[in-house]
C-alpha cells in the first residue's frame, strides 16, 4: 500500500484503520500513568497534541474495548498494555472551539455551550451505563458538569477528562484588541472568573467525586498560573525528559519516511537526501529538556512537506505552512508587551542565543506586563510558544534559548520587517532591492536603503544593548531574508570560522538566473575612525572608503571572504554561482562596500 500522510488529521482511529503513516508514541502511555492522575502537557501550536489526546481516548474508552487489537495490537502499548486500558468513561473538551469574539457575555456563553455540548454527547455515548439522564443547564455548564459527575458516581466506572488547548481562547482574548484585551482576560480569569470557577469544579470532581484522571494540553502555563487558586493540583510534565518526544518526529522517522516516498515514486536517492537535509534545516531543532541532544521535527510542517513530496515529487515552494504563519502574531504580541523589540533583536542577531537562569512554568499576564521583570518569563513564553527552544548552556551557565530552525527565523525577520518598515511602500521597495541583488549583484542600493531607512529605524538604545557588528548583520538579514529561493544562514561555520551571511540557492532553484550570495561585515566606531556623524554624512563613497580604519576593515573582511568562497565552493562541489561582498559600517551612519573580484 502506498504511504499516506495524515496532514491536518488528528483522529487516531482514522489514522490506524485507514492505513496512514503513524509514528508510534504509545510506549509513553505507561510513563504518563506512572507520572500521576492529574497532568498538564504543553507544546507549541500544531505540534500533535490533539492526536495524542485522541490516542488516549481510544486507549482508555471502555466503549472501544472490542477494537483494542485492531487499534493497538501492533503498537508498543498493545504488546504490553496497562490494567487501565478501556477502563473509563471519556469526557473531552476542546477549548479551541470556544469563540474569543464578542463581548464577555458572548465569550462566557460560548464556553458554556461547548461544555454542555460535550456533556450531552457524553450522555448519549454512555447511555447504556448511566442510571438516569444528565440534567443540562443551558446557562450554567458547571451545574451540568456537577450533575454529570453525580450520575457517574452511581455507576461502577469513573471519568477520564481530556482537555485540548485549555488556554486557546483565553490566549486569544489576551492577545486581542489592545483596549479591551486585559479587562476581558482578567474578568475571565481573576476573582470568580469563568475559567477559574470551571477549574474549581474540575478540582472538586477529582477529589473523589467521579473524576479519576485528567490530561490537559495547552501552549503556555500563563492561563494555568492565573487560574492557580482554582486549579493548583495539576502536575506539569512538559519538561519531563522521558516525554520530550511525546509529540513531534525524530530524525530517524523523517529519514525513513522520505526514503520510502522516494522508493515508491521512483525518485533518485540524491533527491531524497536533499529532501531530508531541507527538512532538517527548516523543521528540526526543537528541544524540550535541557539535556536533550537530538532535536525534534515540527510534525505539522513535516507532514505538510512529506504530503507535497509524495504528491508532486518536489519540495513545497513555501516551506512555511500557512497554518503556522499565524505564530507571527505571538511575536508581535511579545513585542507589544515589551514596548520594544529588544528580545526579538537579541534572538535574531545573536547566534549565541538568549540566556535564562530557569524556565518558569508558572507566570501570569501581570508578570509579563511588568517591566521590572528580568525577562525570564518572556523567554519562557517564547519557549512555550515554540518560537525559541533550548539548546545547551550559555558561557555563564544559564539555559540557552535560541531560534529552533529556519521557518521560525523567518517569522522573526518578517516581524522585524513590519516593525522597522511599517509602510507597505518601504517593504515593497525592500523586495525590489533584494531581487536586484539576487539576480544582478547590485549591492549599492541595498546599502543605501540600510543607511537611510533601517539605521534610522533602529533605536539608540538598541545600539547600546546589542553587539554593533551583529546589528549591522541584522539590518541586512531584515532586508534580504528569503527562504523561498534560498537557504539563508547567519554565521555559517566554515572550518571553525564563520561567514556572516550566506544565501545559498535551494536545489530546485539551482538552474535559475539567481546568484548565491556571501556578505562579510565589519564595524568601525566613529571614534576609532577619528571622525563624527556630522562629518561623514555628506561624504562620497570614495571618501568613506579612503578613511584608513574603513580601508583596513574592508581589506580584513576581503581576506576572510576569499577563504569563505573557497570553502563554500568545495562544500558544494563547485556548483555555486557566488557573488561575494564585504561591507564596513562607519558607526550607524554610513556604509562602505565592495564586491570581491572572482579569481581562480
The CATH number of residue 236's host domain is 3.40.50
Q: Do residues 537 and 506 both lie within one domain?
A: yes
pLDDT of residue 193: 73
Q: Is residue 373 part of a domain?
A: no
Lowest-pLDDT range, 56-60, 186-190, 361-365, 584-588? 186-190
Domain boundary among 243, 273, 288: 243
Domain boundary among 298, 325, 352: 325
Q: Do residues 191 and 259 both lie within one domain?
A: no
Q: At what angle do helices 376-385 and 328-338 cross, to 10 degrees?
A: 170
Q: Is residue 393 part of a domain?
A: no
567 vs 347 pLDDT, higher one: 567
C-alpha cell at 415: 516581524
Domain boundary among 287, 310, 325: 325
Burial (CB < 10 A; 0-12, 13-18, 19+), residue 20, is: middle
Q: Do residues 573 and 534 both lie within one domain?
A: yes
Q: Is the per-residue pLDDT at 77 higher than 90?
A: yes
Measured between alpha carbons, how far is 454 from 475 in angstroms, rounded to an integer? 6
pLDDT of residue 107: 86
Q: What SS3 state is found at 89?
A: strand
Q: Is residue 347 part of a domain?
A: no
Express each pLDDT in 220-272 by its tens digit: 887 777 665 545 678 899 999 999 999 999 999 999 999 999 999 999 999 99
pLDDT of residue 370: 61
**Cβ–Cβ under 8 Å, residues 85 and 71:** no
Nearest 5°: phi and psi at 90?
Answer: -110, 125
Q: Do residues 180 and 159 both lie within one domain?
A: yes
202 vs 350 pLDDT, higher one: 202
Q: What SS3 state is found at 390?
A: strand
Give Cα separations from 362 to 164, 288, 366, 378, 428 (angstroms): 19, 16, 12, 12, 42
Burial (CB < 10 A; 0-12, 13-18, 19+), residue 374, is: exposed
Q: Do residues 225 and 258 both lie within one domain?
A: no
Average pLDDT of the chain is 88
Domain with 145, as residue range(s), is: 24-243
460 vs 282 pLDDT, higher one: 282
Q: Is residue 351 part of a domain?
A: no
**Cβ–Cβ under 8 Å, residues 414 and 406:** no
Q: Do residues 226 and 295 both lie within one domain?
A: no
Pairing of strands 159-164, 211-218: parallel
Express each pLDDT in 395-438 by its tens digit: 788 888 889 999 999 988 988 888 889 899 999 999 999 999 99
401 vs 459 pLDDT, higher one: 401
Q: Do residues 93 and 197 both lie within one domain?
A: yes
Q: Is residue 190 part of a domain?
A: yes
Place of cell 571618501: 543
Q: Is the per-residue pLDDT at 461 higher than 50?
A: no
Closest CA to 47 of 287, 219, 163: 219
Integer-rounded Cα radius of gyration of the chain: 27
How many C-beta atoms surround the C-beta of residue 240 within 10 A? 18
Q: Do residues 118 and 222 both lie within one domain?
A: yes
Q: Do residues 223 and 303 both lie within one domain?
A: no
Express each pLDDT in 99-116 by its tens digit: 888 788 888 899 999 999
Q: Is the per-residue pLDDT at 600 higher than 60?
A: no
When divided into structural domains, the chain yields a total of 3
Lowest-pLDDT range, 68-82, 99-113, 187-201? 187-201
Q: Do residues 210 and 101 both lie within one domain?
A: yes
Q: Do residues 258 and 237 both lie within one domain?
A: no
**Cβ–Cβ under 8 Å, residues 41 and 245:** no
pLDDT of residue 192: 64
pLDDT of residue 201: 93
C-alpha cell at 307: 504530503
pLDDT of residue 377: 76
Q: Is residue 333 part of a domain?
A: no
Q: Do residues 316 and 449 both lie within one domain?
A: no
**Cβ–Cβ under 8 Å, residues 116 and 64:** no
pLDDT of residue 54: 98
Q: Is residue 120 part of a domain?
A: yes
Place of cell 529561493: 485
C-alpha cell at 234: 495539576
With cut-offs at 50, 70 and 90, classify the pLDDT of residue 15.
Answer: very high
Express each pLDDT in 20-43 by its tens digit: 999 999 999 999 999 999 999 999
77 vs 173 pLDDT, higher one: 77
**Cβ–Cβ under 8 Å, residues 413 and 332:** no
pLDDT of residue 515: 96
pLDDT of residue 2: 81
* Full DSSP string of 184-236: HHHHHHSTT-HHHHHHHHHHHHTTTSSEEEEEEEES-SHHHHHTGGGS--PEE
Burial (CB < 10 A; 0-12, 13-18, 19+), residue 353, is: buried
Q: Is residue 338 part of a domain?
A: no
pLDDT of residue 64: 97
Lowest-pLDDT range, 71-75, 358-362, 465-469? 465-469
C-alpha cell at 30: 505507561
Percent of the chain clearing pLDDT 70 (strictly above):
88
Burial (CB < 10 A; 0-12, 13-18, 19+), residue 511, is: exposed
Amino acid at each position: 500500500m502506498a504511504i499516506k500522510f495524515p496532514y491536518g488529521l488528528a483522529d487516531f482511529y482514522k489514522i490506524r484503520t485507514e492505513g496512514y503513516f503513524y509514528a508510534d508514541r504509545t510506549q509513553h502511555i505507561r510513563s504518563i500513568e506512572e507520572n500521576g492522575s492529574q497532568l498538564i502537557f504543553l507544546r507549541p501550536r500544531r505540534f500533535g497534541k490533539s492526536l495524542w489526546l485522541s490516542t488516549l481516548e481510544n486507549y482508555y474508552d471502555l466503549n472501544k474495548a472490542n477494537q483494542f487489537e485492531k487499534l493497538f495490537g501492533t503498537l508498543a502499548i498493545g504488546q504490553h498494555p496497562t490494567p487501565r486500558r478501556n477502563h473509563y468513561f471519556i469526557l473531552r473538551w476542546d477549548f479551541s472551539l470556544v469563540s474569543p469574539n464578542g463581548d464577555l457575555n458572548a465569550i462566557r456563553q460560548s464556553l458554556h455551550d461547548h461544555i454542555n455540548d460535550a456533556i450531552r454527547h457524553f450522555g448519549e455515548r454512555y447511555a447504556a451505563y448511566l442510571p438516569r439522564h444528565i440534567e443540562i443547564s443551558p446557562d450554567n455548564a458547571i451545574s451540568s458538569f456537577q450533575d454529570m459527575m453525580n450520575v457517574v458516581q452511581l455507576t461502577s466506572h469513573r471519568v477520564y477528562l481530556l482537555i485540548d488547548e485549555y488556554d486557546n481562547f483565553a490566549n486569544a482574548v489576551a492577545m486581542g484588541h489592545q483596549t479591551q484585551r486585559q479587562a476581558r482576560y482578567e474578568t475571565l480569569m481573576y476573582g470568580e472568573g469563568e475559567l477559574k470557577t470551571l477549574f474549581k469544579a474540575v478540582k472538586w470532581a477529582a477529589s473523589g467525586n467521579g473524576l479519576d484522571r485528567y490530561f490537559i494540553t495547552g501552549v503556555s502555563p500563563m492561563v494555568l498560573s492565573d487560574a492557580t487558586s482554582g486549579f493548583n493540583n495539576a502536575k506539569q510534565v512538559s519538561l519531563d525528559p522521558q516525554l520530550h518526544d511525546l509529540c513531534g518526529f525524530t530524525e530517524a522517522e523523517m529519514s525513513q519516511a522520505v526514503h520510502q516516498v522516494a522508493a515508491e515514486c521512483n525518485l533518485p536517492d540524491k533527491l531524497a537526501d536533499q529532501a531530508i537535509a531541507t527538512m532538517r534545516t527548516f523543521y528540526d531543532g526543537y528541544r524540550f529538556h535541557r539535556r536533550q541532544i537530538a532535536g525534534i521535527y515540527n510534525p505539522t510542517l513535516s507532514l505538510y512537506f512529506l504530503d507535497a513530496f509524495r504528491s508532486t515529487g518536489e519540495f513545497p515552494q513555501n516551506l512555511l505552512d500557512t497554518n503556522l504563519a499565524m505564530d507571527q502574531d505571538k511575536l508581535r504580541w511579545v513585542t507589544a508587551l515589551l514596548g520594544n523589540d529588544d528580545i526579538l533583536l537579541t534572538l535574531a542577531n545573536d547566534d549565541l542565543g538568549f540566556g535564562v537562569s530557569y524556565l518558569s512554568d508558572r507566570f501570569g499576564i501581570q508578570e509579563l506586563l511588568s517591566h521590572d521583570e528580568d525577562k525570564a518569563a518572556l523567554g519562557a513564553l517564547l519557549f512555550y510558544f515554540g518560537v525559541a527552544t533550548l539548546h545547551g548552556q550559555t558561557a555563564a551557565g544559564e539555559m540557552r534559548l535560541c531560534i529552533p530552525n529556519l521557518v521560525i527565523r523567518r517569522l522573526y525577520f518578517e516581524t522585524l520587517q513590519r516593525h522597522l518598515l511599517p509602510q507597505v511602500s518601504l517593504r515593497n521597495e525592500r523586495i525590489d532591492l533584494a531581487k536586484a541583488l539576487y539576480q544582478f549583484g547590485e549591492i549599492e542600493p541595498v546599502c543605501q536603503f540600510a543607511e537611510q531607512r533601517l539605521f534610522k529605524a533602529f533605536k539608540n538604545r538598541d545600539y547600546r544593548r546589542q553587539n554593533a557588528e551583529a546589528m549591522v548583520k541584522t539590518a541586512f538579514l531584515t532586508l534580504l531574508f528569503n527562504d523561498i529561493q534560498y537557504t539563508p544562514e547567519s554565521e555559517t561555520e566554515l572550518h571553525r570560522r564563520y561567514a556572516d551571511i550566506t544565501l545559498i540557492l535551494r536545489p530546485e532553484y539551482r538552474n535559475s538566473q539567481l546568484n548565491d550570495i556571501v556578505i562579510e561585515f565589519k564595524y568601525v566606531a566613529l571614534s576609532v575612525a577619528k571622525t563624527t556623524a556630522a562629518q561623514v554624512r555628506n561624504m562620497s563613497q570614495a571618501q568613506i572608503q579612503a578613511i584608513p580604519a574603513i580601508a583596513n576593515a574592508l581589506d580584513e573582511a576581503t581576506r576572510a571572504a576569499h577563504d569563505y568562497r573557497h570553502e563554500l565552493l568545495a562544500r558544494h562541489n563547485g556548483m555555486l554561482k557566488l557573488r561575494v561582498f564585504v561591507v564596513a559600517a562607519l558607526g550607524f551612519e554610513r556604509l562602505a562596500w565592495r564586491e570581491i573580484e572572482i579569481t581562480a
